[in-house]
Amino acid sequence: MTGKELIKKTFKLEPTDVIPWVPFVGVHGASLIGVNATQFLHSSDNIVDGISKAVELYHPDGIPVLFDLQLEAELLGCKLNWADENPPAVISHPLLEGKTIEDLLVPEKHEGRLPVVMDATLRLRAKYPDLALYGLIAGPFTLALHLLGTDIFMKLFEDPEYVTRLFAFCKRVANRMADYYIEAGCDVIAVVDPMTSQIDPATFEMFVSPPMTEIFEHIREKGALSSFFVCGHAQQNIEVMCRCKPDNVSIDENIPLDYVKDIALGHNISFGGNLQLTVVLLMGTPEDAAFNALDCIELGGNRGFILSPGCDLPMGTPSENLIAVSNLVKDPYEQQIVKAMTRKSDSLKLLNMKDYGQSDKVIVDIITLDSESCAPCQYMVEAVKKIAPHFEGIVEWREHAIKQMAGVTFMASLMVKNIPTICIDGKISFVSQIPPKNELIAAIQKRINEKLKLKIQAKKGEFIAFCKDDAEANVLKSRIETAFLQTGKRIDVIYVTDPVKLAEHGFAQTPTIVLKKYTLKSQGKVPSVDVITEWLKEV
């Protein structure tokens, strides 16, 4: 199934096998191709290259062409302050500078940066026919804030009629922008209105709901899908957002995903979100990103849910973190591994494995999810199982399925990070890839040789000869001496003739000869209980 089909299915609330993934790559695309945000947003070549790089790295199902909520504002006369690492900021408000709402004109396609954006959209459409392309437009409240500045907050109370007129104009701009994006090939139009998080539901319904509902209706008429993006503390407004009848609502980390899920699905609307932008994606590790993505996936479920960051990705978001999300979302095994690993926080006690693999036999451990449900795991276990008989009992193998806590403990103790993995005597030897038969045999043989070498160097022993008297002992002594001469080997011999000691050992007949062998098991450190247990099994 293509990404576009997956997204469409999700918008229709049909259950899917995998969860669609839409990274909101805005100026983050600039960092991927080594240009600054300003250069990026002014060049269709840069936008196409940056987004293409993101597609290559993150394997998304859908992606926005552009994430710049100042685009419309600039077209309507707001001055922008351009930056290297952020989208630009609006620094002047035409409606405060003598212009009236009636002076403002809905932007035409040839104006400002629109030709750049539309060219990028057309080219990305042609290049990625199977990807869901998102066209992002500024919502009425956010655009109105740009046009009027923060005075809009007082105007809400002091001059509601003015605000209504202003929002109506912003709606016309949004509809026209939606038309442009749809004509250029976008599948989803996302109306981004973070400002709505600032107001209460009653104010939302009075000012935002009417224009917003019409925008979504317009997008529907044009045959595209729609989404309502909000960020910030907008929990109070999710219900009224859904009543505007978008096809999807998308939220950030400030709102619990399950809360949105219940309300959105209650309205037959799909929903998306809410990977944590700063603490996890920007400042965290790939492991943090994977845990966070798993949390979202588990809460979101496989019906009507799109995994995405809460908002525009910060430019400097490390790619590794997004790659970790991308790996996880498409790979159910990876999800189960991360899930198993999260149990680590339940005060997992690691084993001391420093001495692991000191027994006579070579121990091959296969760390799996569970060879019955994970195909690669099954093949890896089979591979080991097949070659083990070649070693005629010298090699012992075990599977550690991390579906059980003991398996997780073992995996974490051996510092194994991937599934499946083969460890030979506790050393990570084959990761993820199933080794060819000869390579696996060679690796085990190598370990056997190492052990043999150790054994040869370490072998020592002594005879204990229990004799009834010195005469018997002397006869034995001369024979042992001859054997020493013939073999070139010499070990200590202890002769026991004391009847009390003989009785203690319980040997009924003499002479009784015992060969006591010493095997070097470990040196220089106290072995762990597990290791001692292994040794005991040999006795």
* Binding residues for another protein (CB under 8 A): 79, 81, 83, 85-86, 89-92, 145, 150, 153-154, 156-157, 194-195, 197-200, 202-203, 231-233, 235-236, 252-259, 277-279, 282-283, 288, 310-317, 345-346
Considering the complex, what minimum distance in angstroms separates the CB of residue 314 from another protein? 3
In the bound state with another protein, the residue whose beta carbon lies nearer, of 205 and 396, is 205
A 10 A CB-CB count for 288 gives: 16
User: Cα separation of 311 and 87, whole Å?
Assistant: 13
In the bound state with another protein, the residue whose beta carbon lies nearer, of 199 and 395, is 199
In the bound state with another protein, the residue whose beta carbon lies nearer, of 37 and 212, is 37
In the bound state with another protein, the residue whose beta carbon lies nearer, of 44 and 197, is 197
Considering the complex, what minimum distance in angstroms separates the CB of residue 194 from another protein? 5
245: tokens are 């009848």
In the bound state with another protein, the residue whose beta carbon lies nearer, of 186 and 277, is 277
In the bound state with another protein, the residue whose beta carbon lies nearer, of 314 and 527, is 314
In the bound state with another protein, the residue whose beta carbon lies nearer, of 94 and 107, is 94
Rounded to 10 deg, the angle between the 319-330 and 286-300 helix axes is 40
Query: Which residues neighbour 23 within 8 Å (Cβ) at sequence distance 6 or greater?
Result: 54, 58, 60, 63, 308, 309, 313, 322, 325, 326
In the bound state with another protein, the residue whose beta carbon lies nearer, of 174 and 231, is 231
205: tokens are 């319904």
DSSP state of 342: H
Considering the complex, what minimum distance in angstroms separates the CB of residue 419 from another protein? 22
Considering the complex, what minimum distance in angstroms separates the CB of residue 345 from another protein? 5
Query: Which residues neighbour 288 within 8 Å (Cβ) at sequence distance 6 or greater?
Result: 280, 321
Considering the complex, what minimum distance in angstroms separates the CB of residue 315 from another protein? 7
User: Cα separation of 428 and 421, whole Å?
Assistant: 7
Tokens 């060879």 belong to 371
Asked if residue 299 lies in contact with residue 261, where contact means CB atoms within 8 angstroms, the answer is yes
Considering the complex, what minimum distance in angstroms separates the CB of residue 31 from another protein? 11
Considering the complex, what minimum distance in angstroms separates the CB of residue 431 from another protein? 26
Considering the complex, what minimum distance in angstroms separates the CB of residue 132 from another protein? 21
Tokens 């729609």 belong to 226
235: tokens are 């929990």
Considering the complex, what minimum distance in angstroms separates the CB of residue 32 from another protein? 15
Helix (H, G, I), strand (E, B), or coil: what is residue 364?
strand
User: Cα separation of 398 and 488, whole Å?
Assistant: 41
In the bound state with another protein, the residue whose beta carbon lies nearer, of 150 and 457, is 150
Nearest of 248, 345, 225, 356 to residue 295 by alpha carbon: 345
Query: Which residues neighbour 265 within 8 Å (Cβ) at sequence distance 6 or greater?
Result: 13, 271, 303, 304
User: Cα separation of 73 and 68, whole Å?
Assistant: 10
Asked if residue 229 lies in contact with residue 309, where contact means CB atoms within 8 angstroms, the answer is no
Nearest of 239, 212, 240 to residue 227 by alpha carbon: 212
Considering the complex, what minimum distance in angstroms separates the CB of residue 454 from another protein? 42
In the bound state with another protein, the residue whose beta carbon lies nearer, of 45 and 288, is 288
DSSP state of 171: H
In the bound state with another protein, the residue whose beta carbon lies nearer, of 85 and 108, is 85
Q: What is the largest CA-CA distance in the chain?
A: 128
Considering the complex, what minimum distance in angstroms separates the CB of residue 136 from another protein? 13
Dihedral sign, Cα of residue 70, residue 74, residue 79, residue 84: positive
A 10 A CB-CB count for 199 gives: 20
User: Cα separation of 236 and 197, whole Å?
Assistant: 8
